[in-house]
């Protein structure tokens, strides 16, 4: 028996930018394990071609534009998902944002607008998605989001995203507690640094990669497929007794930090 046979699972993945995205690694691994009913989102028409090129490689064709701005846009997305599938088994939320000044500047200098915008897009959007997902997960399911060790330790050049990710991780714990009665399990996956388009916006990101390579117990960085492997396990029934955790897939770097 294939312990990660996901052929019966249906779900939504938010945050695939191209074929180097963490969310794409998740989509690819899920597809390899039989999950073919996946809806993926793209931010705007400019981003569509990159998403389509990536998804064509694994045969995902159900793509919808979704540019998170408010709860109404989330509701519209999940209405589409309901029209397509009726019910779903998982949501992968891989979405974060900080304007350059908030990301590259000192936390103490972050503006009220910069903080609110980052918190809304990077954290509150998870709450909004969970609220809508609950309505179409009558048999339970899994909600995953992506975090980073900067939530727990001070990481140079990570700016306001450190506090925002800390907020995200606490949100995961509260959502997991509240949704457990509906058999919905919620997790945060914390990958080590991976060279993605989003990561390219972090100043001196090459240094973060090098530090992880030199100092992690495994002496290497991880791949998007390794993040995908973890997501497949968490979505599968093999993790049925788990919820609420922040789970690191970073070669053990969180031990050293």
- What pLDDT is attached to residue 210? 84
Whether 200 maps to a domain, the answer reads yes
CA count, 13 A, side-chain hemisphere, 101: 9
At 80 the pLDDT is 98
User: 1 in a domain, yes or no?
Assistant: no
- Whether residue 3 is contained in a domain is answered as no
Residue of 42, 68, 124, 148 marked catalytic = 148
Radius of gyration of the chain (CA): 17
The reply to whether 2 falls in a domain is no
Residue 4 domain-assigned (yes or no): no
Q: What is the pLDDT of residue 190?
A: 97
Each residue of 59-100: pLDDT tens digit? 999 999 998 988 899 999 999 999 999 999 999 999 999 999
Mention every residue, 6+ apart, whose C-beta is less than 8 A from residue 171.
Answer: 123, 126, 127
Residue 5 lies in a domain: no
In the chain the beta strands, taken as DSSP E runs, fall at 10-14, 37-42, 63-65, 90-93, 141-146, 184-191, 246-249
Look up 158 and say whether it is catalytic: yes
List the catalytic residue out of 68, 158, 248, 253.
158
149, two tokens: 């060790």
**Structural domains of the chain, count:** 1
Return the pLDDT at 1.
47
Could you list the residue range(s) of the whole structural domain that residue 238 is in?
10-256
Q: What parts of the chain have a pLDDT lower than 70?
A: 1-3, 196-203, 257
| CATH number of domain containing 108 | 3.40.50.720
By the 8 A CB rule, do 106 and 157 touch?
Answer: no
Domain-embedded: residue 41 = yes
Order of strands across the sheet with 184-191? 63-65, 37-42, 10-14, 90-93, 141-146, 184-191, 246-249
Q: Per the domain annotation, does 223 fall within a domain?
A: yes
């Amino acid at each position: 028996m294939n312990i990660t046979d996901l052929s019966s699972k249906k779900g939504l993945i938010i945050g695939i930018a191209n074929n180097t995205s963490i969310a794409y690694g998740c989509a690819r691994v899920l597809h390899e394990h039989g999950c073919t009913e996946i809806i993926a989102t793209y931010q705007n028409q400019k981003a569509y071609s990159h998403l389509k090129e990536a998804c064509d490689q694994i045969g995902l064709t159900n793509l919808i534009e979704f540019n998170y701005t408010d709860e109404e846009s989330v509701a519209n997305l999940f209405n589409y998902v309901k029209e397509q599938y009726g019910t779903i088994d998982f949501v992968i939320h891989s979405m974060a944002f900080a304007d350059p000044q908030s990301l590259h500047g000192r936390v103490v200098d972050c503006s009220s607008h910069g903080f609110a915008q980052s918190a809304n897009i990077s954290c509150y959007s998870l709450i909004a998605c969970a609220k809508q997902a609950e309505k179409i997960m009558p048999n339970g399911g899994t909600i995953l989001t992506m975090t980073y060790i900067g939530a727990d330790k001070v990481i140079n050049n990570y700016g306001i995203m450190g506090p925002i990710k800390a907020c995200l991780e606490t949100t995961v714990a509260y959502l997991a507690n509240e949704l457990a009665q509906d058999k919905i399990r919620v997790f945060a996956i914390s990958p080590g640094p991976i060279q993605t388009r989003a990561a390219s916006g972090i100043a001196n990101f090459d240094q973060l990669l090098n530090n992880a390579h030199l100092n992690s117990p495994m002496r290497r960085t991880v791949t998007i497929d390794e993040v995908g492997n973890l997501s497949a396990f968490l979505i599968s029934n093999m993790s049925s007794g788990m919820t609420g955790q922040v789970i690191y897939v970073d070669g053990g770097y969180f031990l050293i930090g």
